[in-house]
Amino acid sequence: MRPPKKIFFCIVVLVFGGSALTILLISSDVYPFCQKDLFILNRNSGDFLKLPEADCSMNTPFLVILVTSRLGETEARMAIRQSWGKERVIAEKRIVTYFLLGNNFRSYEQIAVATENTLYKDIIQKDFLDTYYNLTLKTLMGLEWIHKFCPQSTFVMKTDSDMFVNTYYLTELLLKRNRTSRFFTGLLRMHDHPVRDPSSKWYVNEEEYPGNYYPPFASGTGYVLSTDVASQIYVISKKVPFFKLEDVFIGLCLSELKIQPGKLHSKPTFFSGHVPYSPCRYKKIITSHYTAPSHIMLYWDGLEKSIAEECPESQDN
């Protein structure tokens, strides 16, 4: 008769102990991120794990930059927060940056990200496995967030955490272009075809995509869309067959919506490779790829310091 009693005792201790601990955690300041997450989850958050602290109806951004990032890339996020991703007003337009995260099974990284989010409140996260071929889900999560929480914004940019983005030049060109609806731009790929080489990162078999050509799209390293297009892509994405290459998937949605990607400027400004740094060169580009966190900071610093300086070939309007 003794063992069952012991078990019963243990269960009682576990249940009451667990509840007491939960109440303690929720009500104490020791775990502010627990409180925060619970608070946010109550606010009709769907299946978002984390949402940024943003009220787009009050403090409406002109441009929301969504950066795909992985849990462990804290250094890159910090560099972006201190450089091009810092919230700022350019030409009276508010620019904000949020990070898109999936999940993994490394709990230490999840705790680190939760702590990071209590400080910066700029993370959008859902519970899907964070892998390259889930990038489509990550991007759609960002567009869902725009659709549900920030439809008041004017433009959305999707980019990556190893990118340098010249937000000054981007804002200038968006204002000059003056197209705030049905607009989609970036490094345009108008006649790309599927890669049929199985050793390639972009390999796609006939079953996944039988066609010889992709519809027009823009390189996933950085594209910009008016917010109405972001919402429409999110809505139509449920009817478009899932495709693992996120930039092509966006192209498939655009084609369904009958929206043709357009140029932002007559000269190339979006680059999917690395652009060698010089202050004058960087004044007239929007994206440069493969930029380490330390270089993101250096380039941004150089850009800000030289902002008032004249450049020799700057007559390209």
Ligand X SMILES: *[C@@H]1O[C@H](CO)[C@@H](O)[C@H](O)[C@H]1NC(C)=O
Q: Where along the sequence are the contacts to ligand X (CB under 6 A)?
A: 128-129, 131, 133-134, 178
> At closest approach, how far in Å is the CB of 176 from ligand X?
8
Q: Least separation, in Å, of the C-beta of 259 and ligand X? A: 18
CB of 119 to ligand X, least distance (A): 26
Between residues 110 and 134, which has the closer beta carbon with respect to ligand X? 134
CB of 80 to ligand X, least distance (A): 25
Nearest to 165 by CA among 291, 1, 12, 7: 291
Distance between CA atoms of residues 232 and 72, nearest Å: 32
Quickly count: other Cβ atoms within 10 Å of residue 195's Cβ: 13
Amino acid at 180: T
Based on CB atoms, which residue is closest to ligand X, 178 or 317? 178
Residue 245 or 296: the one with the smaller Cβ distance to ligand X is 245
3-state secondary structure of 95: strand
What is the C-alpha to C-alpha distance for residues 151 and 272, in angstroms, rounded to an integer? 28
Question: Which residue is associated with the tokens 């990038």?
Answer: 135
Q: Which is nearer to ligand X, 13 or 91 (CB)?
A: 91
For 232-268, letters b (16+ CB in 10 Å) and e give bbbeebeebeebbbbbbbbbbbbbebebebeebbeee
- Between 80 and 264, name the residue whose CB sits nearer to ligand X: 264
Report, in Å, the least distance between residue 92 CB and ligand X. Answer: 13
Distance separating alpha carbons of residues 288 and 160, to the nearest angstrom: 11
Of 84 and 145, CB closest to ligand X: 145
The nearest distance, CB 134 to ligand X, in angstroms, is: 4
Which residues touch 312 (CB under 8 Å, ≥6 apart)? 280
